[in-house]
């Protein structure tokens, strides 16, 4: 009887959506990196540097523990050859894995003790884009045209304003779309950066988030050259609902404010068909009208979201996974 009562209560809380929780794989870790593969399986990267392959129902099929020097996996990219795992820690680097999750190559773009902090990695076939925080006044922007084996800095340096950086909350501050590079910054200045030529030139657009060291966009979802959704806020004030979302319908030339935004700070956003889902420390929200208004679905503390064609999965801060249908 207690289990039935719990299910009914959660049914009402989530507006008639059935939520299924999967047990923690470990009491010591959570999985911030979460992506879907073409076969609807999923890859996750944990705070203990474990890469896991999940079946479409969330079950762990296999896992690979990376070396002791890796402390946390913040993002994973899928290439034609395999996968690239990104660490954001004292020894920021990337690990190339084959399709069986076996370590192929470990790459440090500078050296193990460099000040480089990596924020996100994304790929489109063989093309890979890597974003890191500013060093000496310029963002760290690199790309590869051979599945991540060889890297070069973008031809045009991207200058950062004082107090401006990128966030590594969910690996969603950068994206490749049709060969174009995009990323968003936050802090004292929030901007969208767009390069149509693999970093040879960059175009910028200010995004009207509040100016503070922990403010700005923490994630974005770009569906096409026109529609750009950003979410964020101030993670030190997670329940403040104002200034947590701005979206553009003209490629970032102008930005719109929702009539009713997400219910607080949000660290991840995905587009599922024509709807947007965003998650953060106090719940998951959905917008069914292009970002104009948002509705809260639940109050879980969620780090990342992904959609495998059937279910939406949320990686929770307590180390478990949540599954529900859109």
**pLDDT tens figures, 116-157:** 888 999 999 999 999 999 999 999 999 999 999 999 999 999
| pLDDT reported for residue 21 | 72
| pLDDT reported for residue 4 | 28
9 has a pLDDT exceeding 50: no
10 has a pLDDT exceeding 80: no
15 has a pLDDT exceeding 50: no
Residue in the block written with tokens 């403010």: 215
**pLDDT tens figures, 173-207:** 999 999 999 999 999 999 999 999 999 999 999 99
| pLDDT reported for residue 211 | 97
| pLDDT reported for residue 316 | 93
| pLDDT band at residue 90 using 50, 70 and 90 as cut-offs | low
Q: What is the mean pLDDT of the chain?
A: 88
Range 154-168 average pLDDT: 96
- Return the closest-CA partner of residue 233 out of 259, 265, 261, 256: 265
**pLDDT tens figures, 253-309:** 999 999 999 999 999 999 999 999 999 999 999 999 999 999 999 999 999 999 999
Domains of the chain, first to last: 17-324 (2.130.10.10)
> Higher-confidence residue: 84 or 100?
84
Of the ranges 90-104, 188-202, 244-258, which one carries the lowest mean pLDDT score? Answer: 90-104
320 has a pLDDT exceeding 50: yes
* Rg of the chain over all Cα atoms, to the nearest angstrom: 19
Buried b (16+ CB within 10 A) or exposed e, 26-63: eeebbbbbbbbbeeebbbbbbbbbbbbbbebebeeeee
DSSP string, 177-235: ETTEEEEEEEESS-EEEEESSTTSS-EEEE-----STTEEEEEEEE-SSS-EEEEEEET
| pLDDT reported for residue 111 | 52
pTM for the model: 0.90
| pLDDT reported for residue 19 | 75
22 has a pLDDT exceeding 90: no
| pLDDT reported for residue 252 | 96
């Amino acid at each position: 009887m207690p289990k039935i009562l719990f299910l009914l209560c959660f049914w009402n809380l989530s507006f008639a959506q059935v939520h299924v929780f999967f047990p923690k794989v470990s009491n010591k870790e959570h999985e911030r990196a979460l992506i879907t593969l073409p076969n609807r399986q999923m890859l996750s990267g944990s705070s203990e540097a474990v890469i896991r392959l999940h079946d479409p129902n969330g079950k762990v099929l296999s896992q690979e523990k990376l070396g002791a020097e890796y402390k946390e996996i913040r993002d994973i990219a899928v290439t034609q050859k395999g996968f690239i795992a990104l660490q954001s820690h004292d020894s920021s680097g990337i690990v190339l894995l084959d399709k069986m999750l076996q370590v192929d190559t470990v790459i440090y773009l500078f050296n193990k003790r460099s000040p480089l902090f990596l924020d996100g990695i994304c790929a489109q076939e063989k093309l890979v884009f890597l974003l890191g925080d500013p060093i000496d006044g310029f963002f760290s922007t690199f790309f590869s045209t051979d599945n991540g084996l060889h890297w070069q800095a973008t031809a045009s340096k991207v200058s950062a304003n004082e107090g401006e950086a990128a966030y590594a909350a969910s690996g969603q501050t950068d994206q490749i779309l049709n060969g174009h590079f995009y990323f968003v910054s936050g802090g004292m200045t929030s901007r969208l950066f767009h390069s149509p030529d693999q970093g040879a030139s960059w175009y910028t657009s200010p995004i009207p988030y509040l100016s503070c060291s922990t403010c700005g966009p923490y994630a974005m979802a770009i569906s096409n050259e026109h529609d750009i959704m950003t979410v964020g806020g101030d993670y030190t004030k997670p329940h403040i609902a104002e200034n947590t979302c701005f979206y553009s319908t003209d490629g970032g030339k102008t930005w719109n404010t929702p009539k009713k935004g997400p219910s607080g700070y949000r660290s991840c956003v995905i587009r599922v068909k024509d709807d947007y889902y965003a998650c953060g420390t106090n719940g998951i929200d959905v917008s069914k009208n292009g970002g104009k208004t948002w509705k809260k679905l639940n109050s879980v503390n969620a780090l990342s979201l992904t959609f495998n064609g059937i279910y939406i999965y949320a990686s929770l801060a307590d180390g478990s996974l949540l599954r529900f249908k859109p």
